[in-house]
Amino acid sequence: MKIKELIIYSNKLDEQMDFYVDVLELKLLSRTQLTGSIKIGSSILTIHFKEDATPYHFAFNIPSDQEDGALIWLKKRVNILTFEENEIADFKSWNAKSIYFYDRDNNIVEFISRKNLEIFQEDKFSSSSILNISEIGLATSEIERTFHDINRINKIDFFDGNFKLFCALGNDQGMFILVNPKMKRWFPTGDEVMPSDFILRGDHNFKYVNGRINEIS
């Protein structure tokens, strides 16, 4: 499953654009007073201004062997969010390792190296090493209904979890992380899972608004 563009919202648009362009050194694609788009590997992250925006949890794929290099690079730019004093989380069942940090909106941003992708890089890690947007978190107390709503748009694999607490849909290229906000908080910080609106384009094209999936063309 591939994410071509993720559109999110922010009430700190200028700070967010400065963070992604100046701190993370990502390519600016377009900028207006109320919106900005940034190149994230083969994906696009677009941020629109919205006064009542709430935080997100999303992930970027990095090369399969670059978590150590990415950590060194990130520590020069951001504060790493640790779990049990570990700067790199090891998800053995997913054959992946992750690093977490906040952007200027306190969105939890994740760099994840998925070993099953078998994408390797000899050069030192840099912003150009980032492969794509690979995950977007989605808050729903009706995980099974949301799973079927997404499947009606386009078929998607069940990757991990269950319909009660947490469910990952997709594959190593891209995933939807469905989380029940009544029962679970975001890893690794314990932040509240918010039903934050977003728009997605790629293999699945939909708006997530007020906790519901709405297909778009």
Report the pLDDT value the prediction gives residue 5, as an integer from 0 to 100: 98
Tell me, what amino acid is at 42?
S
Residue 217 has pLDDT above 90, yes or no: no
Report the pLDDT value the prediction gives residue 19, as an integer from 0 to 100: 98
- pTM value? 0.96
CATH architecture of 3-215: Roll (3.10)
Residue 123 has pLDDT above 90, yes or no: yes
pLDDT in tens, 199-212: 999 999 999 999 89
Q: How far apart are CA 56 and CA 176, in angstroms?
A: 12
Tell me, what amino acid is at 92?
K
Two structure tokens written together for 124? 């030192």
Q: How far apart are CA 58 and CA 142, in angstroms?
A: 20
Mean residue pLDDT across the chain: 97
* Those residues with Cβ within 8 angstroms of residue 50's Cβ, 6 or more apart along the chain or in another chain: 9, 10, 11
pLDDT in tens, 37-69: 999 999 999 999 999 999 999 999 999 999 999
